[in-house]
């Protein structure tokens, strides 16, 4: 049997007794990308068709968690960091660790100002949620919400890396000494390495977090 077939047999055997709770511990970790994609769709179908079975799914893969879960618990060193729906944890993470663990995130060290926040010389208009002016904080912006060119909350920097991903380009831009990722629709003429570019994002697409531990330390 192939790896995917073996996993299907194992899951079918576990479901044969109609358990109230099904524990799946990294069930797709040994499969290649193609088989993993197929099994992910199969697990999503089972989840829909077996509403009486609660599934506890353990994974380090963010896509698996976001695709399958009704609720996600983020653990760090045996401690619960956050718990909520995939949308809640992705759009409004509780802290920098959760933001970086659930999807890719730009986590920028900023200083709260009366009008928003500052990243070096760049003044940003964002919701500071009552944070005191002068306080240090972390600004979270998802890469797919960062645009190229002039716009609100403009950041200027130098292109340090360009990755072509088929239908998209990912740009890494050095802004005030901090790498900023931008996931953009495929560019016909992407900027050159070392080129100076402007990035921007909408105020409502940024989340201000307490200054603290990021995912780099997990």
pLDDT over threshold 50, residue 217 = no
Single out the residue of 96, 122, 127, 99 nearest to residue 177, CA to CA.
122
- Pairing of β 106-113 and β 79-84: unpaired
CATH number at 106-210:
2.40.50.140
Q: Which CATH architecture has domain 3-101?
A: 3-Layer(aba) Sandwich (3.40)
pTM, to two decimals: 0.83
Contact between 57 and 68 under an 8 Å Cβ cutoff? The reply is: yes
Q: For 59-64, which contacts have Cβ atoms below 8 Å and span 24 or more sequence positions?
A: 59/26, 59/28, 59/29, 60/26, 60/29, 61/28, 61/29, 62/101, 62/102, 62/103, 64/28, 64/40
Please report, for the chain, the start and end positions of each structural domain, with discontinuous segments joined by +.
3-101, 106-210
Contact between 172 and 160 under an 8 Å Cβ cutoff? The reply is: yes
Provide the token pair at 126. 């964002």
At 212 the pLDDT is 63
* Model pLDDT for residues 65-106, shown as the tens digit of each residue: 999 999 999 999 999 999 999 999 999 999 999 999 898 999
* Model pLDDT for residues 129-140, shown as the tens digit of each residue: 879 999 999 999
């Amino acid at each position: 049997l192939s790896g995917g077939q073996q996993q299907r047999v194992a899951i079918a055997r576990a479901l044969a007794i109609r358990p109230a709770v099904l524990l799946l511990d990294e069930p797709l970790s040994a499969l290649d990308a193609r088989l993993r994609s197929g099994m992910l769709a199969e697990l999503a179908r089972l989840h829909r068709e077996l509403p009486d079975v609660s599934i506890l799914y353990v994974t380090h893969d963010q896509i698996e968690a976001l695709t399958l879960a009704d609720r996600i618990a983020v653990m760090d060193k045996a401690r619960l960091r956050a718990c909520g729906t995939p949308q809640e944890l992705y759009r409004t993470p509780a802290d920098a660790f959760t933001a970086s663990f659930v999807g890719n995130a730009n986590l920028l060290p900023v200083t709260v100002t009366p009008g928003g926040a500052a990243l070096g010389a760049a003044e940003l208009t964002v919701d500071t949620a009552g944070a005191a002016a002068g306080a240090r904080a972390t600004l979270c912006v998802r890469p797919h919400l960062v645009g190229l060119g002039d716009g609100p909350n403009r950041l200027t920097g130098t292109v340090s890396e360009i990755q072509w991903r088929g239908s998209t380009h990912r740009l890494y831009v050095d802004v005030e000494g901090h790498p900023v990722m931008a996931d953009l629709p495929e560019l016909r003429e992407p900027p050159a390495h070392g080129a100076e570019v402007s990035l921007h994002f909408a105020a409502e697409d940024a989340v201000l977090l307490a200054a603290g531990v990021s995912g780099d330390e997990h």
